Amino acid sequence: MIGSYVAVGDSFTEGVGDPGPDGAFVGWADRFAVLLADRRPVGDFTYTNLAVRGRLLDQIVAEQVPRVAELAPDLVSFAAGGNDILRPGTDPDEVAERFERAVAALAGAAGTVLVTTGFDTRGVPVLKHLRGKIATYNGHVRAIADRYGCPVLDLWSLRSVQDRRAWDADRLHLSAEGHTRVALRAGQALGLPVPADPDQVWPPLPYRAALDVRRDDVQWAREYLVPWIGRRLRGQSSGDHVTAKGALSPDDIRTRIGAVA
């Protein structure tokens, strides 16, 4: 019976791709917090989301991990290192060493540390070439989880997110449905009953000609890929000037989810 939960991470945990009615993001961690709160008496649950888009592992450790120590929650989710792995020349072995030091610090501050693997990028343009690097990092994450007794939110094995509809238009962040399925998988990782199967099969899509698919790929590259690469080259982050959500009420999250459902 988890009474307090803190979410730590980057854009994935902030909820980019899952906008609420006010335009602010919801995301899997907020949705997961509602699942946890539903198992507690009314008013007997606290939730804080510290995640900020674009953050690298060392930034997360410097900015967010100390806040976890202050809050001392029953549960902390830790999804970090993905932005590091995407950068050219980074070594997944070295990133994993820093990830483990962070897990050690979190394990001393929270009752349970839920760690997260990376997605299987086999169907993602550009990122599919990093699949082996991500798999190596995932192997380290699982080994670290074994050493510290952490449950694992395994996104690599979540087959339903291989569907295009699980992703936002930028193809880098999950859609609202994708975030929902990850929240359900997080509940399963903790052994909780969940209201739906996160790997539920999607309805069939109508046939699309190869030319239409190619046209969409070109539009995506122009609108999202080129600006993303440009920010990397300029040393800019989508999280510049963005602050964390902080403490959130599960009732408010329910209201915002219901408004866009």
Residue 58 sits in a domain whose CATH number is 3.40.50.1110
Classify residue 38: in a domain, yes or no: yes
181 in a structural domain: yes
Nearest to 144 by CA among 212, 98, 210: 98
Q: Write out the residue range of the structural domain in which residue 70 sits.
A: 4-202+243-259
Q: Decide if 233 is inside a domain.
A: no
Whether 234 is covered by a domain: the verdict is: no
**pTM of the predicted structure, to 2 decimals:** 0.92
Q: What is the pLDDT of residues 109-160, one digit of tens each?
A: 999 999 999 999 988 777 889 999 999 999 999 999 999 999 999 999 999 9
Residues 6+ apart with CB under 8 A from 3: 40, 44, 45, 46, 74
- Residue 126 within a domain: yes
pLDDT one-digit tens code per residue, 24-47 = 899 999 999 999 999 999 889 999
Residue 261: the pLDDT is: 62
Establish if 89 belongs to a structural domain.
yes
Q: Does 9 map to a domain?
A: yes
Based on the structure, what is the number of domains in the chain? Answer: 1
Q: Does residue 63 sit within a domain? A: yes
